[in-house]
């Protein structure tokens, strides 16, 4: 145990290699003849190795360590959870596969909610996993700190709690959403535990609040007591079940009404949330029985649709390493959101249109190699797939305009990225299913009157994708014929034409 603790001390000090060396001394001991206590220490060391190297995207090392740990003790829910998500992040299909003494049902019940959104379009399973995860991780005793409060204010006091008030998928959507609140009716409070990134986005978010509280060094109870002191009427969690969540604040009920928005696109299954901010497109009658929160509907899309506020840069296809003459289909959703049925549809479109190219994120070497190998087995060479490494948001967003078409993922649609796509003037093909997260792309498309690009099934997605590819190819050819020789074909923009679509705000009066 001393080596385990020594490794943890090294990790805290940032000496990662030294920490791994300590744990490997334990993990590499011969398994035969070890006492029960020594075997337990070995599993702990293996799990620490997997956890740390996973952060550095050394997924093959992490997977091997977890498999060895689960051979010793298969009843480790957290180890199974991480192993399953590694399968998603490395596009190792099918995600559920043989593990020593771990059944598929146990894999399912071990999952964390966010990866589950990318695995199934079944709202019942999503509710099940949310409740199971909440029971396992957030089994708080509820208290009602706001009980008996009867104060009234001239303006309703609305508080937002988040660790993502910065350049983050959620933070990028917030400036216009917050500014759209009717300040004659609402007084905004921010409870912030975000990293200080010094960005324009963060400054815009913080400036939108009437009052700001830095809660980074405060306990959940201390934060809840501040919320009570501030006499907040409505408190909103911008995390839900996403990374960095602090549901312990909400379990204390510091405000009479509490809800969730944006951070996690599904029901939380947690009893201390009264409502979820949605739109009428993303919540269907099929889902409603499996939501523990009451819907609070926004008009239009619940994804705020306004251009980002970063300085505009311009990138050519040459800058992006893209050929001028090919039709480029971009798919920039997180790699773990790519599923086998959808990837097959993308490959079929590539085969149907020889002068087309698929543009993907090069997230990690293992996933990229697997995707290229899968494509090759299905008749698509690696010359038809362009891989681009991750880059700062200020460069990623303007590069989108060089795509002819954007391909949405399913069952986890793009949300913040979908906003960027339509604002870049790029048509997007999406698939709407039975869950909130599988209808985000359709919500954005509906707001722009682009229902023709929204599919209702995987076969329909394939048909709409092929139709969109052929239509864009024809537009490109017509445009090219109108340009003098040598000047290069122009970027073909969809009829979306970037336009300011400010969030319509939220009406809390009905709560």
Kindly report the CATH number assigned to the domain that includes residue 160. Answer: 3.40.50.11380
Q: Is residue 363 part of a domain?
A: yes
Q: Is residue 338 part of a domain?
A: yes
Domain identity same for 234 and 175: yes
Q: Which domain holds residue 323?
A: 317-481
Domain identity same for 293 and 322: no
Distance CA 3, CA 162 (A): 36
**pLDDT for position 329:** 98
Domain identity same for 380 and 255: no
Domain identity same for 326 and 290: no
Domain identity same for 277 and 396: no
CATH number of the domain that residue 350 is part of: 3.40.50.2000
Domain identity same for 345 and 469: yes
Domain identity same for 329 and 431: yes
Q: How far is CA 272 from the centre of its chain?
A: 23
Domain identity same for 162 and 280: yes
Q: Is residue 465 part of a domain?
A: yes
Q: Is residue 101 part of a domain?
A: no
**pLDDT for position 35:** 87
Contacts of 273 (CB under 8 A, 6+ apart): 237, 240, 250, 258, 259, 260, 292, 293
Q: How many domains does the structure of the chain reveal?
A: 2
Strands 257-260 and 234-237: parallel
Residue where a domain stops, chosen among 234, 266, 298: 298
**pLDDT for position 109:** 95
Q: Mean pLDDT for each consecutive 10-residue tract of the chain (511 residues)?
A: 91 95 90 82 96 96 96 95 97 92 94 96 97 95 90 91 96 93 95 96 97 98 98 97 96 97 96 97 95 94 84 88 95 97 98 96 97 98 96 88 96 95 93 98 92 95 95 76 42 35 67 84
Across-strand partners of 328? 357
Cβ distance 75 to 81 under 8 Å? no
Q: What share of the chain is helix, strand, coil (3-state, %, to 5)?
A: 45, 15, 45
Distances (CA, A) of 495 to 175, 315, 331: 26, 21, 20
Domain identity same for 380 and 243: no
Copy the structure tokens of residue 388.
């681009």
Q: How far is CA 458 from the centre of its chain?
A: 21
Domain identity same for 441 and 325: yes
Domain identity same for 248 and 345: no
Domain identity same for 285 and 363: no
Strands 405-407 and 385-389: unpaired
Q: Is residue 71 part of a domain?
A: no
Q: Is residue 409 part of a domain?
A: yes
Contacts of 369 (CB under 8 A, 6+ apart): none
The H-assigned helical ranges of 28-58 are 36-55
**pLDDT for position 199:** 94
Q: How far is CA 372 from the centre of its chain?
A: 24
């Amino acid at each position: 145990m001393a080596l385990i603790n020594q490794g943890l001390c090294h990790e805290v000090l940032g000496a990662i290699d030294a920490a791994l060396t300590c744990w490997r001394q334990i993990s590499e001991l011969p398994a035969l003849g070890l006492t029960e206590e020594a075997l337990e220490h070995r599993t702990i060391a293996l799990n620490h190795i997997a956890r740390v190297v996973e952060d550095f995207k050394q997924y093959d090392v992490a997977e091997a360590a977890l498999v060895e740990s689960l051979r010793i003790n298969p009843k480790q829910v957290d180890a199974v959870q991480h192993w399953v998500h590694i399968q998603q992040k490395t596009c190792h299909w099918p995600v559920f596969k043989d593990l020593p003494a771990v059944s598929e049902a146990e894999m399912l019940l071990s999952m964390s909610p966010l990866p589950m959104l990318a695995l199934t379009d079944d709202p019942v399973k999503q509710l099940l996993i949310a409740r199971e995860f909440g029971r396992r991780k957030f089994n708080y005793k509820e208290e009602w700190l706001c009980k008996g409060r009867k104060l009234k204010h001239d303006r309703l006091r609305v508080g937002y709690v988040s660790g993502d008030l910065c350049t983050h998928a959620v933070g990028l959507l917030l400036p216009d959403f917050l500014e759209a609140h009717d300040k004659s009716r609402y007084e905004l409070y921010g409870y912030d535990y975000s990293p200080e990134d010094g960005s324009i986005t963060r400054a815009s978010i913080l400036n939108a609040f009437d009052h700001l509280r830095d809660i980074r060094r405060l306990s959940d109870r201390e934060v809840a007591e501040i919320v009570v002191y501030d006499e907040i009427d409505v408190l909103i969690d911008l995390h839900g079940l996403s990374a960095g969540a602090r549901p312990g604040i909400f379990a204390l009920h510091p405000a009479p009404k509490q809800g969730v928005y944006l951070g996690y696109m599904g029901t939380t299954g947690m009893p201390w949330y009264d409502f979820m901010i949605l739109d009428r497109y993303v919540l269907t009658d099929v889902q409603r029985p499996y939501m523990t929160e009451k819907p609070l509907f926004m008009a239009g899309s619940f994804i705020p649709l306004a251009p980002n506020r970063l300085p505009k840069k311009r990138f050519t296809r040459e800058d992006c390493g893209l050929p001028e003459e090919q039709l480029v289909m971009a798919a920039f959703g997180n790699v773990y959101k790519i599923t086998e049925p959808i990837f097959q549809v993308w490959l079929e479109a590539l085969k149907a249109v020889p002068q087309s190219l698929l543009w993907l994120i090069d997230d990690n070497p293992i996933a990229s190699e697997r995707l290229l190998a899968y494509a090759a087995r299905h008749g698509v060479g690696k010359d038809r797939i362009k891989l681009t490494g991750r880059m700062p948001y200020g460069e990623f967003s303007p590069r989108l305009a060089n795509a002819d078409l954007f391909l949405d993922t399913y069952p986890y649609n793009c949300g913040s990225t979908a906003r960027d796509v339509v604002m870049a003037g790029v048509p997007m093909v999406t698939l709407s299913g039975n869950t909130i997260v599988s209808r985000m792309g359709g919500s954005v498309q509906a707001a722009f009157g682009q229902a023709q690009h929204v599919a209702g099934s995987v076969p329909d997605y394939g048909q709409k994708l092929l139709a969109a590819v052929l239509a864009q190819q024809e537009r490109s050819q017509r445009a090219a014929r109108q340009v003098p020789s040598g000047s290069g074909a122009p970027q073909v923009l969809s009829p979306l034409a970037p336009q300011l679509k400010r969030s319509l705000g939220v009406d809390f009066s009905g709560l």
